[in-house]
Amino acid sequence: DMVKVLTVATDENHGLERFLYSAKVYGIEVEILGKGKEWTGGNMNYAGGGQKVNILKDKLKEMMKSENSQEQIIIFTDSYDVMFLASLEEIVKKFKTFKDTRVLFSAEQFCWPDSKLAALYPKTEVANPYLNSGAFIGYLSEIFEIVNHKPIKDKEDDQLYYTKIYLNKELRSSLKISLDHDASIFQNLNGALSDVQLRTNTTEEWPYIENIVTNQKPLIVHANGPSKLTLNHFGNYLAKSWSNNEGCTLCLEKRINLKEEELPSVMMAVFIEQATPFLEEFLQQLKDIDYPKSKIHLLLRNNVEYHEVEVDEFYQTYSKQYASSKRIKPSDFITEAEARTIVMERCINSVCDYIFNIDSLSRVKKATLRYLLSSGYDVIAPMLVRPGQAWSNFWGAINSAGFYARSSDYMDIVYYGIKGIWNVPFITNCYLMKMSVFRSKRAEAVTYAKENIDADMAFCSSLRDLGIFMHVSNEYDFGHLVNPENFDVTRTHPDMYQVLDNKIEWEQRYLGEDYKINFEEGRKHLMPCPDVYWFPLMSKRFCLEWIEIMEAYGQWSDGSNNDKRLEGGYEAVPTRDIHMNQVGLERQWLHILKEYVRPLQEMVFTGYYHNPPVSIMNFVVRYRPDEQPSLRPHHDSSTYTINLALNTPHIDFEGGGCRFIRYNCSVRDTKMGWLLMHPGRLTHYHEGLLVTKGTRYIMISFVDP
Ligand SMILES: O=C(O)CCC(=O)C(=O)O
Ligand SMILES: [Fe+2]
């Protein structure tokens, strides 16, 4: 058969790219009409206007000269919101099954743009009663007559034009015009979302859509009206973009090789918009990103006064290494939207090829930027998830109010059940933008500033409106998001309080480097005195900050027997100490006992399980020659006691240590960050040895009293 596939696309955009890719996949050659022409067919980018009819008319006139118009088949479709799902052969074969039909229009559930015309339709008791002009197939001779039936202005509605011809009974029968009511070729998505099922994970290699009302597998899909985002979602799978066996085939197709000699120049836009746990590690990560700094333009925006000292130090130390640098400080009183606009303008008006946006909640591995650049996608985020939660930096779907909605594949993507690069309606925190996309005239409408919505929501909403596709990749594990929800900067060393909320960073900074050797197979645990075990637990940094938290609080007990903090108000063997609940660390410390101390106990006092460990007395003791220098012999009211050294003998103090009287055995050379663990109340009668110089700090818990 002689088949010509035509579309009108005045503008090049991601929708057109997707359309052409789907055509290529099925070996379909498309002729694009109106390329580069100014669009005068109405102000919506998608809704076709009469201009489409007029451009088509010119083309068909030309074809009439050379082609056999009785035999020549024309397929005309929109392009920004259309995908081919089958080869021409299949499409034409299906077309020929329509009896008494020379032209077949796609059909939909809404009579649009003039609903009053619904009454004139011959057949309405069908799945899709009404004509949609986004796609049709037929013979040149009849289509030529249709487009030449009457003049149409560029701004007039093409669907109304074709509808009136169809509703004209004489024309309908003389030109043999039918509608594809069952979506056996054309599936219009608007209003049909519950009829149409996306089938992935079938035994077939390629996902497809199925109309479960008409039992058809449509061959061309058209996201008419407000159903664009549904096609963005389907498009992740259709037209062999996804293989049930191989995963993301489109990702491979798009990948590009970065040439070391001609790496693109990137504006790295760093945003600190809110008080952020472990900001120090965030800043470190920035300078460790694997990319030549001579190719990076740094823009560092901090809007949090609390972080300014740290940010300033980073900027003073590293900014000179970058190709250029600029900063925006809290004292500049610039909103986030303004700051992001400054970034865009700086990049647009310079030689920069990409913007790499990264905000302070993002923790990315150092290869991430290179990966994003080589993905071949114009706007792409690395997927970042809050560990242990479904919270991420993208939305799989969006509801009609423009807020988060969960797509059917969201959880699979977040948990890496499926891996690929996904066209999604919202990304945030960290993403790469290719500037050529944003230098176009059309992209002037991209904005970060919309009333009453966040900058990232405004941005993504403007990209959706413009048909600029956003993607998120979960091809690899790129990192994660920190959780700022319970971050309280009024605390001394607030990061210390984050052991529950930001475990990864907390462990990295505060858990001893050698903690893990406790669990090495065949490890012989140190036992400096009988049944007194000795384990590395915390980092030096933990110990220093832990002491600083106590000293900043400063309200040490007076060492007398009267202690109002205790239920009975009386302490038989008092120390100068501060309890964890006084500094707001009780919950955190109990978590530490459960997560990091209990597993040690279970290794050495075999057969004793108590999870979670209970501990009412958790405190830091301070010994000083001129204050309380020692502690008299006693038992602890505990099943076992832990005694964590926070500083170092012979450096921070002289003397000190713990003596176990029954065994006449002392531990004097305690190690910063290491804990002693011993039975509490029968065998291990013990005393705190005299400190003769300096200050000794220990952290004590009476576990399972
Ligand atoms: O000073 C020491 O190491 C022992 C402290 C102690 O036994 C306690 O606080 O109960
Ligand atoms: Fe004790």
Domain boundary among 481, 507, 527: 481
Query: What pLDDT sits at residue 319?
Result: 97
Query: What pLDDT sits at residue 43?
Result: 59
- Domain of 176, CATH number, reads 3.90.550.10
Q: How would you label 51-66 residue by residue, b for 16+ Cβ within 10 Å and e otherwise?
A: bbbbbbbebbeebeee
Helix residue ranges per DSSP H, 407-539: 410-414, 435-438, 455-466, 503-510
Same domain, 473 and 521: no
Asked if residue 628 has its Cβ within 6 Å of ligand 1, the reply is no
pLDDT tens, residue by residue, 524-561: 999 999 999 999 999 999 999 999 999 999 999 999 99
Query: What pLDDT sits at residue 45?
Result: 47
What total of structural domains would you count in the chain?
3
User: In the predicted model, is pLDDT for residue 353 greater than 80?
Assistant: yes
Cα distance between residue 133 and residue 677, in whole Å: 79
In a domain, 488, yes or no: no
In a domain, 215, yes or no: yes
Same domain, 453 and 552: no
Asked if residue 644 has its Cβ within 6 Å of ligand 1, the reply is no
Same domain, 435 and 520: no
Percent with pLDDT over 90 in the chain: 94
By CB neighbour count within 10 A (0-12 exposed, 13-18 middle, 19+ buried), where does 126 fall?
middle
Query: What pLDDT sits at residue 37?
Result: 85
User: In the predicted model, is pLDDT for residue 16 greater than 70?
Assistant: yes
Q: Determine the 3-state secondary structure of 178 from DSSP.
A: strand
In a domain, 486, yes or no: no
pLDDT tens, residue by residue, 236-282: 999 999 999 999 999 999 999 999 999 999 999 999 999 999 999 99
Same domain, 385 and 287: yes
DSSP character at residue 201: S
pLDDT tens, residue by residue, 462-477: 999 999 999 999 999 9
Same domain, 506 and 374: no
* Main-chain phi, psi angles of 358, to 5 degrees: -145, 125
DSSP character at residue 19: H
Same domain, 468 and 509: no
Residue whose C-alpha is closest to residue 32's, from 12, 9, 48? 9
In a domain, 65, yes or no: yes
User: In the predicted model, is pLDDT for residue 400 greater than 70?
Assistant: yes
Q: From the CA of 572, how far away is ligand 2's center (Å)?
A: 11
Residue 201 makes CB contacts below 8 A (sequence gap 6+) with: 207, 244
Residue 386 makes CB contacts below 8 A (sequence gap 6+) with: 392, 480, 481, 482, 483
pLDDT tens, residue by residue, 270-307: 999 999 999 999 999 999 999 999 999 999 999 999 99
Q: Average pLDDT of 2-21? A: 96
User: In the predicted model, is pLDDT for residue 595 greater than 50?
Assistant: yes
Least confident of 131-135, 348-352, 454-458, 519-523: 348-352
* Main-chain phi, psi angles of 495, to 5 degrees: -60, -30
Domain boundary among 252, 285, 306: 252
**Regarding beta strands 196-199 and 354-359, do their DSSP bridges make them parallel or antiparallel, or are they unpaired?**
unpaired
pLDDT band at 441 (very low <50, low <70, confident <90, very high): confident
Give the number of other Cβ atoms within 10 Å of residue 131's Cβ.
25
Query: What pLDDT sits at residue 124?
Result: 83
Query: What pLDDT sits at residue 117?
Result: 97
Same domain, 306 and 450: yes
Asked if residue 686 has its Cβ within 6 Å of ligand 1, the reply is yes
Same domain, 184 and 58: yes
Asked if residue 629 has its Cβ within 6 Å of ligand 1, the reply is no
Structure tokens belonging to residue 580: 């964890």
Same domain, 180 and 194: yes
Query: What pLDDT sits at residue 34?
Result: 93
Looking from the CA of residue 643, the nearest atom of ligand 1 is: 3
Asked if residue 192 has its Cβ within 6 Å of ligand 1, the reply is no
In a domain, 489, yes or no: no
User: In the predicted model, is pLDDT for residue 664 greater than 80?
Assistant: yes
Looking from the CA of residue 670, the nearest atom of ligand 1 is: 3
Asked if residue 631 has its Cβ within 6 Å of ligand 1, the reply is yes
Structural domain harbouring 267: 256-481
Q: From the CA of 702, how far away is ligand 2's center (Å)?
A: 8
Same domain, 218 and 83: yes
Same domain, 52 and 69: yes
Asked if residue 699 has its Cβ within 6 Å of ligand 1, the reply is no
Cα distance between residue 109 and residue 193, in whole Å: 11
In a domain, 159, yes or no: yes
Query: What pLDDT sits at residue 48?
Result: 53
Asked if residue 482 has its Cβ within 6 Å of ligand 1, the reply is no
Looking from the CA of residue 641, the nearest atom of ligand 1 is: 10
Domain boundary among 458, 481, 504: 481
Same domain, 447 and 536: no
pLDDT band at 123 (very low <50, low <70, confident <90, very high): confident
Q: From the CA of 613, how far away is ligand 1's center (Å)?
A: 20
